[in-house]
Amino acid sequence: MTKPADTSMNINEILDHLPHRYPFVLIDRVISLELNKEITVLKNVTVNEPFFPGHFPYLPVMPGVLIVEAMAQAAAVLSFKTMGIKPTQDSVYYFAGIDKARFKKPVSPGDQLILNVKIDRILKGIWKYNGVATVDGEVVAEASMMCILKNINKDQ
């Protein structure tokens, strides 16, 4: 019998499975998560985000690289949950590559960004994902990403 999918995670559970902290936590809630398969998360985009005063003062737009970073954070939560571990100070989850990134519409204050990230494959410790970001059902960005969990040697 297949184990049912975990359905949601609040911000406290996210912080248990994500090494990032303010001001760089870019996901607010896990809507659904299916181990070894996919995750859907929500990011409420608010006018008081630390990047808006500089990007751009006259027309606030969420930087595309931060949308991809939010996808990667969703991927990290999915990976840690799938591996059954939590991040520690002895490891870090790095980007290994970003391909096919496309930005189709601007994301502005007041938008609710829905990010869906699917595991494409896992090979030799490198996880490959496909991510899609939508606002009101319209695709605003998409990318393929690769990430890897690395141990940190603090003596180097």
The verdict on whether 55 is a catalytic residue reads yes
Give the active site residue among 55, 101, 114, 122.
55
Q: Which two tokens stand for residue 65?
A: 């690289």
Ramachandran assignment for 136, one of left (phi > 0), alpha (psi -120 to 50 degrees), beta (any other): left
CA 118 to chain centroid, in Å, comes to 11
**b/e for 99-118, b at 16 or more Cβ within 10 A?**
eebebeeebeeebebbbbbb
80 HSE (CA, 13 A, CB side): 22
Helix (H) or strand (E) holding 44: strand 38-44
Distance of CA 51 to CAs 5, 78, 87, 129, Å?
A: 35, 26, 26, 26
Q: Which residues are catalytic?
A: 55
